[in-house]
Chain A
């Protein structure tokens, strides 16, 4: 009787242990093969204008998206609301632009080039897969730069925002 109880207990404990080990292994596999998007979120970079009497706060978002997509976004809101999109301001066509540079394992893959909003918009983005994605785990980074048509030094011209690096992402 005692022997049977011990065998049952052993089997139950063994089963529980098997379930735990299997679920742990699955969790590890899921984590290592997960393909996610990493982003800085919109970060305030530059105030431009005035456009009429309105000054604009411009924010940039640097993204490495699933899979290995280098993306750059720019967003314009009325000053002094920084990156609060509740105060989004439609910039006329050609007023805001963005460029994304791509890196893999610290090597340079190229850039999208600057593209500009074609019509009134408060935000604009550009993206491309600039690096190849060979087998194995690679580290990808995006460097995003925005540009805005601005009245500076007594003339209208484009100004750059600071460039923003995305969090790195492995694929």
Chain B
């Protein structure tokens, strides 16, 4: 058996330990880095909202099918021009509560809906019930639902048998 000088043994052991530590560090780094990268990738994937018109198939069978509604839908002014985009969550029917009821506290609880520009983050105005698009900088009428003075010609009627 060949006996190595002590210094050589120490050198080789140190190299082995160093290489092992280095490999472990690379492995851990790659795992964490890969995880972070995939998390970031999936996060960016989740963050990309869908934008577009609601397909006619979403209106079928009496109820608006939420799964077919894009995250943001074009909003039009009274002249029919696209003035921005409204969020799906703002235009979908009210969510139903635990007892099967969707609640609201007062007759004036249906508020204005924010309208976003192409970035989908910057508010350019609001869709106000009974009025239509009101750009940012123009005051939204107080109470939000001027039931006694709609600017859109709105008719109400007592319907009975």
Contact = CB atoms under 8 A, between A and B. Distances in A.
A37 interface: no
Interface stretch (B21-29, B30-38, B94-102): B94-102
B63 A115 contact: no
B59 A152 contact: no
A86 B147 CA distance: 31
Contacts of A36: none
B48 interface: no
A160 B73 contact: no
Nearest to A139: B56
Nearest to A75: B159
B49 to A, nearest CB: 15
A125 B136 CA distance: 31
A106 interface: yes
A125 B157 contact: yes
Tell me whether chain B's interface is mostly helix, strand or loop, or mixed: loop
B135 to A, nearest CB: 14
Interface string A30-47: 000000000010010010
Nearest to B152: A128
A152 B62 CA distance: 26
B59 to A, nearest CB: 5
Contact of B99 (A107, A111, A152): A152
Interface in B63-83: 63-64, 73-76, 78-80, 82
B102 A128 contact: no
A106 B73 contact: yes
Size band of the B side of the interface? 35 or more
Among B53, B93, B96, the one with the most A-chain Cβ atoms within 10 Å of its Cβ is B93
B80 A108 contact: no
Given A114-B107, A158-B105, A165-B62, A104 B76 contact: yes
Interface string A119-144: 10111111111111010000101010
Contacts of B145: 113-114
A164 B63 contact: yes
Contacts of A139: 56
B158 interface: yes
Nearest to B127: A110
A163 B103 contact: no
Contacts of A85: 160-161
Interface string B118-161: 00000000011111110000000000110100101111111111
5 contacts: A43-B62, A107-B54, A122-B160, A127-B156, A131-B76
Interface of B: 52-56, 58-60, 62-64, 73-76, 78-80, 82, 86, 91, 93-94, 96, 99, 101-107, 109-110, 127-133, 144-145, 147, 150, 152-161
